[in-house]
Every structure is written in structure tokens, then in C-alpha cells.
Amino acid sequence: MKYDFDREINRKDTQSAKWGVIQNPDNPSRWHATDAYFGENRILPLWVADMDFPAPRPVVDALVRRAQHGIYGYTIRTDSYDRAVAAWMKRRHGWEIDTGWIVSTPGVVPAVNFLVQTFVEPGERVLLQRPVYYPFFNAIENNGAEIVSSSLILKDGRYEMDFDDFEKKASDPAVTFFILCSPHNPVGRVWTREELTRVGEICLKHRVLVVADEIHADLIYRGVTFTPFAGISEAMAQNTVVCTAPSKTFNLAGLHTSNIIIPNTTLRRRFQRTLDRCGMGKWANPFGVLACETAYREGEPWLEQVMAYIEGNLDFLQAFIDTQLPGVRVIRPEGTYLVWLDCRELGLDNRALKRLMLEKSRIFPDEGFIFGPEGDGFERINIACPRSILKDALTRVRKAVTG
Ligand SMILES: Cc1ncc(COP(=O)(O)O)c(C=O)c1O
């Protein structure tokens, strides 16, 4: 079946967060409900990472049938579900997993919080590579630990890991845990096998446990290969907790279903105990498990088409910005539908940049600084939307910048 991603679908009255809430411009930690995304002079939401496209047809059909059944009682994860997850990892990423390694959680962010609670003692330090997905900061700090960043380096338009700095920080005995974002949100890097091997070996050497957040692993552009971190070696697998989900891949985030893959039995039991202590992890969401299994079994044709469309959006964005938006540079992503824009040449501070986007252009991207101080002067935009919306957004910014 051929999907039409050009069609703009109105998300009003669907309780969508992306199209329903907005940050207070003067206080980024405060949010309020809004209908400013609709009607005349609407704001275009390009922030949170969900797509403005319907999920694959087989998923929608399966959910409709299930909804019509009418009984939504306690639900279990079946063997067939686990086999679908394992088959996906093998087919798409060449990573062989045992179905017994899978632990389900209602999202990757909850899982990262539970992982910090399980494996990090108060006062210990957690290594990150900023700029990075900001909910990691809360997961660390809300659970009594400290953030240490081995910040990424921007070199010739591409971000790289700083291995010397990383090793220096990993060798601190208070650093016990590293959250790897792979592919990396917001900078869009799909780390190479060599980079991952190097960083993984440093963690093994200094006994730093790795959480590999691979939620964006399926969203890879042409010519780029994703390497599953725990697939690199048995030693790496035994030292890693891998966070996966069908939510970014198939636009299912609201169904709150993710699969945490833990090859090491001791680590897996400890994590499971934390879930048990919270009374979680026994039952599943009926729509979430059905959508995940159906997507992994039947969603590939949709995924191929959506990635081709998003790559078209990326080419469009790059050409537009290169020729019509002086002062802005695209950090070309290798994966994810999130694009990190270097706006530093506009010469605006964070507050003025926010005014340019929200008040003058009436678009709402994620501000770079929320990903850490390394993000000052950057913006992150979500390009998983009909091209007409992207074009409208870019045209507005051009008008605001060039007057
Ligand atoms: C790196 C990363 N991890 C996790 C999430 C969210 O995970 P979940 O919705 O499963 O909590 C996102 C969403 O943007 C993300 O980019």
C-alpha cells in the first residue's frame, strides 16, 4: 500500500500534547494548555518527538478491531509478542536476543528513571554526553545522583565524542553509570561501530554500567548503518541495559509500551525487583502490546515509505536554509526525524532566539539550551510532518530573520 504523508491531519480534540500545550516563554519549566496551534495566525508545533502521520494501516486496523471488541480487561504480554520483538531486532539490526531478556515498561523515560533508582546510589555520578535528551537530567537529579557531562564536540558540522575527556570522567570512582543516546537526540549522530566500541571498552575498563537508549534505532537515513551497542561483544552485552520501543519508529508514543532488553541475568533481576516494588510490570496495555506486535510484524513497508518522505523533508530543509536563511546552519542528522539547527550566527541570546521563533515566526521548536548549556544558540525541530507545514515554518522564520 502507498501512504500519503502530504495530507495535513487536524489533531485538534485528540488530547495531543504537541498540539495542545505550550511552554511559558518566560519560564521554560511551566506549561499551559493552549489552542494557539489552531485557527488564524496559528503557531506551528515542531517540538516534541511525535509524527503528524497516522501509524501503519495494519496497526490502525488491528486497534480498531480491538477497540470494537469492547472488553479492555487486564492484559498480558504473550510469547508471540516477545518473538515479534526478537525477530525485529534480528531482521532490522542483526542483533540476536533471547526473548527472556525483555522487560516491558510503559515508556523509555520511566525505564531510565527506574534504572537510575536501581543502579545508582545517591551521591554517585552519571555520565552523559550533552547536548542530550533533557529528561535524562531529571532522571538523574530527581533520584539523588549528579550529572557529569563529557560533552560532544562540533567539528566541521558534525558532532564527535571526546574520548580522552570521556575516559577521564569515566575513571572517577563516583561515576558508575553512563546513559548513551544512540542514535543521538538532538544532534542526529548514528554512532559508528568504532565509536561505540571505544566508548564501551572505556566503560568496561572503569566498571561503568551502560544504558543504551536506542529508541531512535529504526529511523536511519540512506547509506547509514545503526550498530546495536549490546551486539558488539558479549562483554558489552553483559554490561548494558538497552532501551527500545516501537514508539518513535511507528508513531505510537501515546500507547506507552517499550521493551527494555537486559542480557545480564543479575542486572535484569535487579531491575525487575524495582518494577515489582512499584507494583509495575505484570500487566500490559492492551492497545500498546497489540500495536507493538502488529507494527513489528507488518509495519516495515510503512517505515520504508515514511523514512523516504522524512529524508525528502530533510533535503528540502537543507536546501531552504542553505539558500534562504542566513545565520542558520543545519547539522545534518544521520538518523532521527529531529534536526539540530545552529543559529549562533544570528547573534541572539536564548531569550531573543525564543522571541524570534515563538513571537515573530509563530513556530514552537525545542530550544537548544534545554539540552544543556552546550545547546545555547541552537534549536531542535521535528520534521516528521507534511512538507507543507515545514515549508510554512521555514518561510515564517525567513521573514522574521530577513525582515
Ligand atoms: C532519546 C529518547 N529517549 C526516550 C524518549 C521518550 O521515550 P518514552 O516516550 O518511551 O518515554 C525520547 C523521545 O523523544 C527520546 O528522544
Q: What does DSSP assign to residue 100?
A: G
Q: Round to whole Å and give the CA distance between 180 and 230.
A: 12
- The angle, 0 to 180 degrees and rounded to 10, between the axes of the packed helices 286-298 and 57-69 is 150
Please say if the pLDDT value at position 15 is more than 90. Answer: yes
Please say if the pLDDT value at position 331 is more than 90. Answer: yes
Per-residue model confidence (pLDDT) at position 19:
96
Q: Round to whole Å and give the CA distance between 237 and 224.
A: 23
Q: Round to whole Å and give the CA distance between 50 and 16.
A: 10
354 C-alpha vs ligand 1 centroid, how far in Å? 23
Q: How many CB atoms lie within 10 A of CB 145?
A: 22
Please say if the pLDDT value at position 96 is more than 80. Answer: yes
Please say if the pLDDT value at position 363 is more than 80. Answer: yes
Q: What percent of the chain has pLDDT over 70?
A: 100
Per-residue model confidence (pLDDT) at position 26:
74
pLDDT digits (tens, 9 = 90+) for 133-164: 999 999 999 999 999 999 999 999 999 999 99
Phi, psi (deg, nearest 5) at residue 302? -65, -45
Quickly state the pLDDT bin for 403 (edges 50, 70, 90). Answer: confident
Q: Round to whole Å and give the CA distance between 286 and 294.
A: 12
For the four alpha carbons of 191, 193, 197 and 200, in that order, the dihedral sign comes to positive
Which of these, 369, 373, 328, 366, lies nearest to 151 by C-alpha position? 373
Phi, psi (deg, nearest 5) at residue 119? -110, -5
Amino acid at 338: L
Per-residue model confidence (pLDDT) at position 282:
84
Mutation pick for ligand 1 pocket among 113, 134, 185, 255 (CB with most ligand atoms within 8 Å): 185
Please say if the pLDDT value at position 28 is more than 80. Answer: no
Which atom, in ligand 1's list, is nearest to the CA of 258?
A: 10
Per-residue model confidence (pLDDT) at position 33:
93
Mean pLDDT of the region 25-30: 76
124 C-alpha vs ligand 1 centroid, how far in Å? 24
Per-residue model confidence (pLDDT) at position 30:
87
Please say if the pLDDT value at position 183 is more than 90. Answer: yes
50 C-alpha vs ligand 1 centroid, how far in Å? 10
Mean pLDDT of the region 317-335: 97
215 C-alpha vs ligand 1 centroid, how far in Å? 6
Which atom, in ligand 1's list, is nearest to the CA of 109?
A: 11
185 C-alpha vs ligand 1 centroid, how far in Å? 9
Per-residue model confidence (pLDDT) at position 272:
97
Largest CA distance in the chain: 60
DSSP letters, 202-265, are HHHHTT-EEEEE-TTTT-B-TT-----GGGS-HHHHHTEEEEE-SHHHHT-GGG--EEEE---H
Mutation pick for ligand 1 pocket among 46, 105, 109 (CB with most ligand atoms within 8 Å): 109
Looking at the chain, how many residues does it have? 403
Q: Which three cell numbers stand for residue 201?
A: 571498552
297 C-alpha vs ligand 1 centroid, how far in Å? 22
Please say if the pLDDT value at position 18 is more than 90. Answer: yes
Q: Which residue has the higher pLDDT, 322 or 31?
A: 322
Mutation pick for ligand 1 pocket among 47, 103, 104, 108 (CB with most ligand atoms within 8 Å): 108
Q: What does DSSP assign to residue 358?
A: I
pLDDT digits (tens, 9 = 90+) for 205-214: 999 999 999 9
Quickly state the pLDDT bin for 127 (edges 50, 70, 90). Answer: very high
Per-residue model confidence (pLDDT) at position 23:
84
Take atom 14 of ligand 1 and give the residue whose Cα is closest. Answer: 49
Q: How many CB atoms lie within 10 A of CB 203?
A: 23
Instruction: Assess contact for 332 and 318: CB atoms under 8 A.
Output: yes
Mean pLDDT of the region 327-347: 98
Bridge-partner residues for 258, per DSSP? 105
Q: Which residues lie with the beta carbon below 6 Å from any ligand 1 atom?
A: 49, 107-109, 133, 181, 185, 213, 215, 245, 247, 253, 258
Please say if the pLDDT value at position 29 is more than 80. Answer: no
Q: What is the mean pLDDT of the chain?
A: 96
Q: What does DSSP assign to residue 360?
A: I
pLDDT digits (tens, 9 = 90+) for 291-312: 999 999 999 999 999 999 999 9
For the chain, domains (ranges, CATH) are: 17-56+300-402 (3.90.1150.10), 70-298 (3.40.640.10)
